[in-house]
A and B are shown apart, each in its own frame.
Chain A
Amino acid sequence: MREDIAISRRVVLHFPPSLADKPIMCRLAKDFDLEFNILKASITPKEEGLLVVELSGAAEDYENGTRYLSGVGIVIQPLSQDVIRNETRCTHCGACVVLCPPGAFVIDPVTRRVEFDDSKCIACGVCVPACPPRAMEICF
Chain B
Amino acid sequence: MLRTIAEINEKIRRGQAVVVTAEEIIGIADEKGVERAAREIDVVTTGTFAPMCSSGAYLNLGHTAPRMKIGGGRACLNDVPVYTGFAAVDVFLGATAIPDDDPRNKIRPGHFDYGGGHVIEDLVAGKDVRLEATGYGTDCYPRKKIETWIRLEDMNEATLFNIRNAYQNYNVGVNLSDRTIYTYMGVLKPDLGNANYSTSGQLSPLLNDPYYKTIGIGTKIFLGGGIGYVAWHGTQHHPDVLRGDSGVPKRGAGTLAVIGDLKQMKAGWLRGVSFIGYGVSLAVGIGIPIPILSEEILHYTAVKDEEIFAPVLDYSEAYPQRKPDILGEVSYAQLKSGKIEVLGKDVPTASLSGYYKALEIANILKEWIGRGEFLLTEPVAPLPGVEAGIEFKPLRERPIE
Contact = CB atoms under 8 A, between A and B. Distances in A.
Contacts of A94: 350-352, 354
Contact of B193 (A91, A98, A134): A98
A134 B189 contact: no
Contact of A93 (B187, B336, B354): B354
Interface string A56-95: 0000000000000000000000000000000011011111
A71 B272 CA distance: 45
Contact of A112 (B111, B271, B349, B359): B359
A33 to B, nearest CB: 39
Interface in B299-324: none
Given A99-B194, A132-B275, A92 B356 contact: yes
What 6 A-B pairs are tightest by C-beta distance, nearest first? A132-B273, A98-B194, A112-B355, A92-B356, A98-B350, A93-B354
B219 interface: no
Contact of B274 (A99, A114, A132): A132
Max chain A CB contacts within 10 Å: which of B194, B349, B351, B352? B351
Given A99-B187, A132-B275, A93 B194 contact: no
Tell me whether chain A's interface is mostly helix, strand or loop, or mixed.
loop
Contacts of A111: 356, 359
Interface residues of A, number: 22
Contact of B348 (A88, A98, A113, A133): A98
B53 to A, nearest CB: 12
Interface in A82-139: 88-89, 91-99, 107, 109, 111-114, 129-130, 132-134
B101 to A, nearest CB: 19
Given A91-B271, A93-B351, A130 B276 contact: yes
Given A98-B350, A132-B283, A92 B338 contact: no
Contacts, number: 77
A112 B356 contact: yes
Interface in B186-201: 186-187, 189, 193-194, 196
17 contacts: A91-B283, A91-B357, A95-B187, A95-B196, A95-B351, A97-B350, A98-B194, A98-B196, A99-B350, A112-B336, A129-B276, A132-B273, A132-B283, A132-B352, A133-B271, A133-B274, A134-B113
Contacts of B281: 132
Contact of B350 (A91, A95, A112, A129): A95
Contacts of A95: 186-187, 196, 350-352
B271 A98 contact: no
A79 B86 CA distance: 52
Max chain B CB contacts within 10 Å: which of A92, A96, A112, A132? A132
B273 A98 contact: no
B90 to A, nearest CB: 29
Given A88-B268, A92-B356, A95-B186, A132 B51 contact: yes
Given A97-B348, A98-B193, A129-B276, 17 more contacts: A91-B49, A91-B273, A93-B350, A93-B354, A94-B350, A95-B196, A95-B350, A95-B351, A98-B350, A99-B187, A107-B338, A109-B336, A114-B356, A130-B186, A132-B281, A133-B273, A133-B283
